[in-house]
Amino acid sequence: MAIEFTKYHGLGNDFILIDNRATSEPVITPEQAIQLCDRHFGIGADGVIFTLPGQDDTDYTMRIYNSDGSEAQMCGNGIRCLADFLATLEGLAAKTAYRIHTPAGVMIPKRETDGRIKVDMGMAFLEAGQVPTTLAEADQKVINTPIKVAEQSWDVTCVGMGNPHCITFVEDVTTIPLETIGPQFEHHPAFPQKTNMEFIQVVRPDYLKMRVWERGAGLTLACGTGACASVVAGVLTQKCDRTATVELPGGCLEIEWSQLDQHLYMTGPAERVFTGTWEG
């Protein structure tokens, strides 16, 4: 079975995009996604993104398989790549903005005049039961709550962006042994659906540095939902402004937590790398 694909990245968070508009289910299996994402024996990526027909008055549906074969509800860098991919597929008929159905809700990416993609990421979920985490009662927020990981107590804030995020603030993100400690947070029993883990250094109230361990993908160069969640956590803990630049290993994202509608808005690049055919 020959599958045409396009390789994209958003700040180094890389994906295999597949035109799946002819059917409502992904054309490859999670096991095949693992093969595709393998950086030695496959194409190499953090995940596979499928463009499927829209649902409930949306233009398209996005589904994502992580590099470990698990399915992600949402990916901020991924949806920016999807928006550019759709514009390429549609050609002259391409829209400026799309309504995209995802397991995390409807997201609206918009192509800006400077070539970047701005995405309405919707509202953050702050109650523990919505994240989800058991670090507090289901209807309570988790803000600066201690958790023991790697024989150390960490003060964490938990935010749901359609996927779970655990955020902690540190003096220097470069000192964190992410490959060792990231999996321990991801699989901690306090997170029944596992979690993404963000370590944040506040350079100034409008500028954060972030390193991330992604659920299902591991160490990545960027995470859009994580950048959004980190700004929310920074505001809740009075460490940052509602509009901030988040610097990741792969580059910078501009994040705004709007006071008007309480939505998160993320702006950043999406880069097409190459196209090809996979002989599955």
Angle at 275 between CA 18 and CA 118, to 5 degrees: 65
pLDDT at 1: 78
Residue 133 in any domain: the answer is no
pLDDT at 239: 98
Q: Which CATH number goes with the domain that contains 161?
A: 3.10.310.10
pLDDT at 265: 98
Same domain, 16 and 100: yes
Cα–Cα nearest to 196, from 248, 151, 152? 248
Q: Which residues contact 73 (CB under 8 A, 6 or more apart)?
A: 102, 103, 104, 162, 163
Q: Is the peptide bond before 192 cis (omega within 30 degrees of 0)?
A: no
Q: From the centroid of its chain, how far is CA 55?
A: 21
Q: Dihedral of CA 181/184/190/195: which sign?
A: positive
Q: Kindly indicate the confidence band of residue 16, based on its pLDDT and cuts at 50, 70 and 90.
A: very high
If one counts the domains in the chain, the total is 2
pLDDT at 241: 99
pLDDT at 65: 98
Same domain, 81 and 174: no
pLDDT at 199: 99
Residue 130 in any domain: the answer is no
Q: Which residue has the tokens 């999807």?
A: 82
Q: Is the pLDDT of residue 175 over 80?
A: yes
Q: Do residues 14 and 45 touch, judged by C-beta distance below 8 A?
A: yes
Query: pLDDT tens digits for 181-214?
Result: 999 999 999 999 999 999 999 999 999 999 999 9
Q: From the centroid of its chain, how far is CA 248?
A: 13
Q: What is the mean pLDDT of the chain?
A: 97
Residue 136 in any domain: the answer is no
Share of the chain above pLDDT 90, in %: 97
Same domain, 110 and 175: no
Q: Do residues 67 and 37 touch, judged by C-beta distance below 8 A?
A: yes
Same domain, 174 and 219: yes
Residue 199 in any domain: the answer is yes
% helix, strand, coil for the chain, step of 5:
20, 45, 40
Q: Do residues 109 and 80 touch, judged by C-beta distance below 8 A?
A: yes
Residue 27 in any domain: the answer is yes
pLDDT at 254: 99
Domain of 28, in residue numbers: 2-121+269-279
Mean pLDDT throughout 129-139?
98
Q: Is the pLDDT of residue 86 over 80?
A: yes
Beta bridge partners of 154: 147
Q: Do residues 218 and 211 touch, judged by C-beta distance below 8 A?
A: no
pLDDT at 92: 72
Residue 137 in any domain: the answer is no
Residue 132 in any domain: the answer is no
Task: Give the other-Cβ count within 10 Å of 49's Cβ.
Answer: 25
Q: Which are the catalytic amino acids?
A: 75, 223
Share of the chain above pLDDT 70, in %: 100
Mean pLDDT throughout 76-89?
96
Q: Do residues 124 and 161 touch, judged by C-beta distance below 8 A?
A: yes
Q: Do residues 67 and 105 touch, judged by C-beta distance below 8 A?
A: no
Q: Is the pLDDT of residue 93 over 90?
A: no
Residue 216 in any domain: the answer is yes
Q: From the centroid of its chain, how far is CA 154?
A: 23
pLDDT at 280: 76
